[in-house]
Amino acid sequence: MTVAIYPGTFDPLTLGHLDIINRISKLFDRVVVGIARVSTGKDVLFDLDSRMQMVTEAVAHLSNVVVAPFEGLTVRFAKEQKASVLVRGLRAVSDFDYEFMMSQMNKNLAGEIETMFVMAGLEFQFLSSSLVKEVARLGGDISAFVPGHVARLLAKKLGSASKKAPPKAKPA
């Protein structure tokens, strides 16, 4: 039985992520989508529970895909899950340097775990969670980039965030 992990921050889950999950679910016996509690250098909009829920709902139709939280080393998480493959998605040229470096480091840390890259679908090459958040914050329509339930969560989150903002001081 071949187990693969697909780790990431998923803040929020996009249709690009979901495309990768759908495709790799056909290649492995079991896929564990690993949701990183925190990600170095990243400010997360959604807490771990919300990110877990949004991914769990999106993969409910895939019987061999499960969702699990993790923190710390990705290769340690892979070993805990008894995974032999670590899948990462690759977009155009932007991801290559970092992903290449990480895969070499992970190879040094755990030689038995193979990193596999899956090319993002053409229509998702320029889609990222950070861009989705930026557009949503500015009031743009992100419904073509994320599942419906994620779009609703984003609207709720950013709507309530703007409601919580203190009123602007009146000019003197």
Write the CB contacts of 60 (distance below 8 Å, at least 6 apart in sequence): none
Order of strands, sheet of 85-90, starting from the edge strand that comes earlier in the sequence = 65-70, 30-36, 3-8, 85-90, 114-119
Using CB under 6 A as the binding rule, whether residue 128 contacts ligand ADP is answered as yes
Instruction: Please report, as residue ranges, which positions from 8 to 67 form the binding site for ligand ADP (by CB under 6 A).
Output: 8-10, 14, 16-17, 20, 39
Least separation in angstroms between CB 22 and ligand ADP: 11
Cβ-based nearer residue to ligand ADP, 102 or 155: 102
45 or 120: whose CB is closer to ligand ADP? 120
CB contact at 8 A, 109 and 77? no
Query: Binding ligand ADP by CB under 6 A: which of 129, 132, 133, 150?
Result: 129
Give the active site residue among 25, 50, 129, 133: 129
Tokens 């930026």, located at residue = 134
Active site residue 42: yes
Nearest C-alpha neighbor of 78 from the set 46, 42, 103? 103
- Burial tier of 25 (Cβ tally within 10 Å: 0-12, 13-18, 19+): buried
Positions touching ligand ADP (CB under 6 A) are: 8-10, 14, 16-17, 20, 39, 88-89, 91, 95, 120, 124, 127-129
